[in-house]
Amino acid sequence: MRLAPSPTGTLHIGTARTAVFNWLFARRQGGEFLLRIEDTDRERSRPEYTANILEGLQWLGLHWDGEPVVQSARIGEHRAAIQQLLDSGQAYRCFATEAELTAMRDQQAASKQAPRYDNRHRQLTAEQQQTFIAEGREATVRFKIDDDATITWSDLVRGDMRWSGSDLGGDMVIARRAPADQIGDPLYNLVVVVDDIAMAISHVIRGEDHIANTAKQLLLYAALGTEPPIFAHTPLILNQEGKKLSKRDGVTSVSDFQAMGYTPEALANYMTLLGWSPPEGMGERFTLAEAATVFDFERVNRAGARFDWDKLNWLNGQVLHELGPDALRQQLLPLWAAQGWGTAPGPAQADPTWQADLCSLIGPSLSLLADGVEQARPFFTTPELQESASSQLASEGARPALAALLERLPEGPLSADQAQTLLTEAATAAGVKKGVIMKSLRAALLGSLQGPDLLATWLLLHRSGDDRARIARCL
Ligand code: GLU
């Protein structure tokens, strides 16, 4: 198995999902998961994209075996394979100029034919070749594709596949234009085949946008006298409208998801579900290692997989809940520190136990890590009173009840039982129902009528010494 990303952009979610399927299948089969950086597009490939791809795969836990193969370093092997095809007469030099090819395609368009190369230089005599060379023309190398060839393979996802040579656009360019005594830059379909052979790849698992390439590549395997690998073409990832997920959809890079606060566990879990259905009873929350024990292509759908933010958010919440308070605290500390919270030694808010208790309180309602900043905010800074809170505090009996509570509030520690008793006593003293004092206390402490469990909230704010001033400001 291998992943063969082109470093012409950051690690795309589609490539990452392909990586997940390769990784799972390799682990399931006890095979190897290899990495090849396809950097032959010299203009668009950049080292920072390679770095981003490697980091993204590692972040997701998709560790590869061995050293990554760098495709551009293998140009000698690619040229040797092209030479072999030229020598065996399965490839030839084509001297057609860009202008001639454009004219050919314009003509095809005018007569409503599909664009294809008309194989015009397949049978050039040595003399004709000499004439072109004397004119100073350069040549591409084309691989012969017979119109009557039939290409079949059994795809692990799509079943029996059948292509006709006549649907492949005529003889295929495998090396860019160069002086006729040289071989120009080798092109994608050729180099992929040469490298997959050299790397002894048994299974090629990649997106279904490569299906037409597979047909061409199978002809190259045959021409090079090698058995082809097994192919699995995975369904595309679609956006909410059912169209192929593209840059226009905004978030498409693994690093974007990382920056948004998704955990690698949730994203890897979610990508596994993009096209694969877990067996009955497994549920949808699982680790990559768990999925690897059951992954197979029979459960990969042919239809495109629609991206579902709600499911990703739900999974991320699950992962955060599983972390437990201490691990969650570790993850939140840098985000809190960025707000200037919880770092100064001394105050209760910098106490790891207080912080872990805060995490126990807010943990269950987090779906993104960033929610842990918003929900922790009223514990680190005094919140403004929202309108709903102000009107609660203006309601009958609210202020007398809070005043009665404040009178009884101890300076020292407060237990949950004591806190309950205080609420009952203050409500009785002010002649209000317990619900009134509870709602008013929430309004005073959090500035809002929403929030986590009231008693636990109050006890935390008591420990940090913040409850008194927040109640007092409302009187
Ligand atoms: N480099 C190709 C791409 O990024 C993948 C080639 C392959 O998997 O065969 O789309």
Same-domain status, 175 and 100: yes
Q: How far apart are CA 408 and CA 118, in angstroms?
A: 94
Q: Which of 197, 210, 217, 253 should be mutated for ligand 1, with most atoms under 8 A from CB?
A: 210
Strand order in the sheet with 2-3: 2-3, 34-37, 69-70
Note whether 25 and 1 are within 8 A (CB). Answer: yes
Supply the CATH number for residue 461's domain.
Answer: 1.10.10.350
| Residue 225 maps to a domain | no
Tokens of residue 465, six digits: 């010494």
Same-domain status, 123 and 173: yes
Note whether 1 and 205 are within 8 A (CB). Answer: yes
Which residue of the set 243, 244, 247, 433 is catalytic? 247
CA–centroid distance, 236 to ligand 1, in Å, is 14
Note whether 53 and 46 are within 8 A (CB). Answer: no
Supply the CATH number for residue 138's domain.
Answer: 3.90.800.10
Same-domain status, 181 and 79: yes
Q: How far apart are CA 29 and CA 15, in angstroms?
A: 21
Supply the CATH number for residue 12's domain.
Answer: 3.40.50.620
Q: Annotate 406-431 with b (16+ C-beta within 10 A) or e (fewer).
A: beebeeeebeeeebeebbeebbebbe
Tokens of residue 127, six digits: 């003399």
Q: CB of 5 closer than 6 A to ligand 1?
A: yes
| Residue 451 maps to a domain | yes
Among protein residues, the one with the nearest Cα to ligand 1's atom 6 is 4
CA–centroid distance, 275 to ligand 1, in Å, is 19
Ligand 1: which atom is nearest the Cα of residue 196? Answer: 9
Q: How far apart are CA 82 and CA 175, in angstroms?
A: 8
| Residue 215 maps to a domain | no
**91-94 and 159-164 as β-strands: parallel, antiparallel, unpaired?**
unpaired
Place of tokens 């960033």: 370
Three-state secondary structure readout of 386-435 = CHHHHHHHHCCCHHHHHHHHHHHCCCCCCCHHHHHHHHHHHHHHHCCCHH
Describe the crossing of helices 434-446 and 454-463 by its angle, rounded to 10 degrees: 50
CA–centroid distance, 112 to ligand 1, in Å, is 31
DSSP track, 25-42: HHHHHT---EEEE----T
Which one of 169, 187, 205 terminates a domain?
A: 187
Q: CB of 378 closer than 6 A to ligand 1?
A: no
Q: How far apart are CA 266 and CA 268, in angstroms?
A: 6
Supply the CATH number for residue 347's domain.
Answer: 1.10.8
Same-domain status, 336 and 250: no
Q: How far apart are CA 457 and CA 451, in angstroms?
A: 9
| Residue 227 maps to a domain | no
Q: Alpha helices of 111-224 — where are they, by DSSP H?
A: 126-134, 188-198, 211-223
Q: CB of 233 closer than 6 A to ligand 1?
A: no
Ligand 1: which atom is nearest the Cα of residue 206? Answer: 8
Same-domain status, 111 and 167: yes
Same-domain status, 395 and 408: yes
Same-domain status, 338 and 318: no
CA–centroid distance, 184 to ligand 1, in Å, is 21
Same-domain status, 81 and 163: yes
Q: How far apart are CA 151 and CA 405, in angstroms?
A: 83
| Residue 280 maps to a domain | yes
Which one of 294, 322, 350 terminates a domain?
A: 322
Q: Which range of residues forms the domain containing residue 403?
A: 387-472
Instruction: Put residue 143 in one of left, alpha, beta given phi > 0 → left and psi -120 to 50 → alpha.
Output: beta
Query: How far does CA 59 lie from the centroid of its chain?
Result: 11
| Residue 391 maps to a domain | yes
Tokens of residue 241, six digits: 């409208």
Note whether 193 and 217 are within 8 A (CB). Answer: yes
Number of domains comprising the chain: 4
| Residue 206 maps to a domain | no
Q: Determine the pLDDT at residue 346.
A: 67
Same-domain status, 408 and 461: yes
Tokens of residue 248, six digits: 């226009």
CA–centroid distance, 251 to ligand 1, in Å, is 21
Q: Determine the pLDDT at residue 251.
A: 75
Which one of 279, 301, 322 terminates a domain?
A: 322
Q: Which residues of the chain have pLDDT under 50?
A: none
Q: How far apart are CA 190 and CA 22, in angstroms?
A: 22
Same-domain status, 247 and 290: yes
Note whether 363 and 321 are within 8 A (CB). Answer: yes
Same-domain status, 120 and 84: yes
Give CA angle at 81 (75, 87), nearest 5°.
135
| Residue 144 designated active-site | no
| Residue 157 maps to a domain | yes
Q: CB of 206 closer than 6 A to ligand 1?
A: yes
Same-domain status, 87 and 180: yes
Tell me the chain's radius of gyration from C-alpha atoms. 32
Note whether 450 and 377 are within 8 A (CB). Answer: no
Burial (CB count within 10 angstroms: exposed 0-12, middle 13-18, buried 19+), residue 95: buried
Compute CA distances 91 → 144, 183, 366, whole Å.
6, 12, 60
Ligand 1: which atom is nearest the Cα of residue 207? Answer: 8
Compute CA distances 281 → 139, 262, 272, 284, whole Å.
60, 26, 16, 9
